[in-house]
């Protein structure tokens, strides 16, 4: 049941859905080369004009495919959660065309405001519709212009539409500001790691002390303890979260039924995944932080600080995350043609690698500085997650009329 004063009409009744220009046309008459928007330019909630390409088009077709300020740009396909993604074009480039995989929706502003349509299509309501009618493959989905034209648009009065989008824009601004603060804090943390963990910058009171070179085996012991007591917390290495339970990462356990040959790790221990991945060209070394203990595949090379130790755990957590043992791994690794990206690193060579590090007191000071920067990153990430969740809730409430806004009377 619609809220009082609202309507529901197909998009075709309140807007013109315009398809874009196709690439690769031959034998053009009187062609001109103009900028155009591709799928890559149309992101979820913003238009990215940092990389604009050009296309040749006949002069008499320019008007047909040119964008106008206020057009709502939407992609025809992509990942399931990206269906209906897009935003309002503000005319930053003129003239500017759009590719045939990008729809330009030109609304009747007296009935439907562009920003309200953009918000509605990106909401749970919009995504549910697009997903219900999309053509799906394994990981992708797409819609055609007919399905887009049939999108059932919820239509409050235009003054209410404008009030709703103004409210949502407050959250958009807060999210944008927090994203910038997060990016800045991430860059600051990265700079601290690069300066402090290499000795390029020394902390006060340590400038006169020299760093010492050790062999890896002088600081760490290999861990080979088998899972004889039947622990079921199977861990995997995540670039973002470190050692994380497979249940938490994948909502299921991807492991053999017999876990007795898995390696048992305690909190603070490290594991080296010899498979390279994005951001980790020489494999990832991650500590167990989230749980008191867990088990990993014997394919991982596991180790921990010697006990007792004159070294700081957090220092090495940041040291490995910064990739400062990669040069040693590079020197010893050989990638086998049949190893499917698994680095051929022997245990002996790994533990005979060299480290150049400061003394314990300086390690602790360095770790504390980086930990503080790390906590700032985590705080901004939590704030961004909260703001994003709040906006989604507001969209669900306001765009469907479950919660009405009070419109100021003129």
Distance of alpha carbon 15 from alpha carbon 228, whole angstroms? 66
Kindly tell me if the per-residue pLDDT of 338 is higher than 60: no
Residue pair 149/12 in contact (Cβ under 8 Å)? The answer is yes
129-156 per-position pLDDT tens digit:
998 988 888 778 889 999 999 999 999 9
pTM for this predicted structure: 0.84
79-133 per-position pLDDT tens digit:
777 777 789 999 999 999 999 999 999 999 999 999 999 999 999 999 999 989 8
Residue pair 175/373 in contact (Cβ under 8 Å)? The answer is no
The burial of 21, by beta-carbon neighbours within 10 Å (0-12 exposed, 13-18 middle, 19 or more buried), is given as buried
Average of per-residue pLDDT across 388-405: 94
32-78 per-position pLDDT tens digit:
999 999 999 999 888 999 999 999 999 989 999 999 999 999 998 87
- In the chain, where are the structural domains located? 7-155, 212-357
CATH architecture under which domain 212-357 falls: Alpha-Beta Complex (3.90)
Please give the CATH topology (third level) of the domain spanning 7-155. Answer: Adenine-n6-DNA-methyltransferase TaqI; Chain A, domain 2 (3.90.220)
258-283 per-position pLDDT tens digit:
899 999 999 999 999 998 878 898 99
Q: Do domains 7-155 and 212-357 have the same CATH topology?
A: yes
CB < 8 Å & 24+ apart, contacts of 355-358:
355/213, 355/214, 355/215, 355/216, 355/219, 355/319, 355/325, 355/328, 356/199, 356/211, 356/212, 356/213, 356/214, 357/211, 357/212, 357/214, 357/311, 357/315, 357/319, 358/199, 358/206, 358/209, 358/211, 358/212
Task: Write the DSSP string, 50-94.
Answer: SS-EEEEEEGGGHHHHB--TTPEEEESEEEGGGTT-EEE---SSS
Q: How many CB atoms lie within 10 A of CB 52?
A: 14
Distance of alpha carbon 227 from alpha carbon 237, whole angstroms? 18
212-241 per-position pLDDT tens digit:
999 999 999 999 999 998 999 999 998 888
Task: Write the DSSP string, 351-373.
Answer: HT-EEEE--HHHHHHHHHHHHHH
């Amino acid at each position: 049941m619609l809220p009082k004063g609202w309507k529901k009409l197909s998009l075709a009744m309140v807007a013109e859905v315009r398809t874009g220009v196709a690439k690769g046309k031959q034998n053009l008459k009187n062609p001109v080369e103009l900028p155009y928007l591709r799928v890559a330019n149309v992101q979820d909630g913003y238009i990215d004009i940092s990389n604009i390409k050009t296309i040749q088009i006949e002069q008499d077709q320019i008007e047909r495919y040119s964008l106008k300020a206020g057009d709502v740009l939407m992609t025809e396909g992509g990942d399931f959660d990206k269906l209906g993604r897009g935003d309002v074009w503000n005319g930053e480039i003129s003239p500017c065309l759009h590719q045939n995989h990008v729809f330009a929706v030109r609304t009747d502003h007296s009935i439907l405001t562009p920003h309200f349509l953009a918000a509605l299509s990106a909401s749970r309501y919009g995504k549910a519709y697009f997903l219900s009618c999309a053509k799906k493959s394994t990981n992708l989905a797409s819609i055609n212009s007919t399905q887009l034209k049939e999108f059932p648009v919820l239509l409050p009065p235009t003054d209410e539409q404008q009030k709703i989008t103004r409210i949502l824009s407050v959250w958009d601004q807060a999210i944008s500001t927090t994203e910038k603060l997060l990016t800045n804090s991430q860059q600051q943390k990265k700079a601290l790691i690069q300066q402090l963990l290499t000795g390029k910058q020394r902390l006060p009171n340590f400038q006169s002390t020299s760093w010492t070179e050790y062999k890896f085996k002088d600081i760490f012991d290999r861990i080979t303890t088998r899972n004889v007591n039947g622990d079921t917390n199977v861990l995997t290495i995540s670039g973002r979260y470190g050692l994380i339970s497979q249940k938490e990462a994948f909502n299921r356990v991807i492991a053999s039924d017999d876990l007795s040959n898995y390696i048992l790790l305690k909190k603070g221990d490290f594991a080296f995944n010899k498979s390279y991945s994005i951001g980790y060209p020489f494999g990832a070394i991650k500590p167990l932080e989230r749980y008191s203990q867990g088990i990993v595949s014997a394919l991982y090379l596991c180790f921990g600080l010697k006990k007792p130790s004159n070294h700081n755990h957090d220092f090495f957590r940041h040291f490995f995350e910064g990739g400062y043992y990669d040069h040693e791994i590079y020197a010893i690794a050989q990638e086998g043609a049949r190893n499917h990206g698994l680095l051929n690193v022997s245990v002996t060579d790994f533990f005979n690698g060299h480290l150049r590090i400061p003394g314990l007191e300086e390690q602790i000071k360095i770790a504390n500085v980086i930990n503080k920067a790390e906590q700032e990153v985590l705080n901004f990430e939590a704030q961004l997650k909260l703001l994003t969740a709040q906006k989604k809730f507001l969209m669900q409430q306001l765009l469907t009329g479950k919660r009405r806004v009070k419109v100021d009377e003129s």
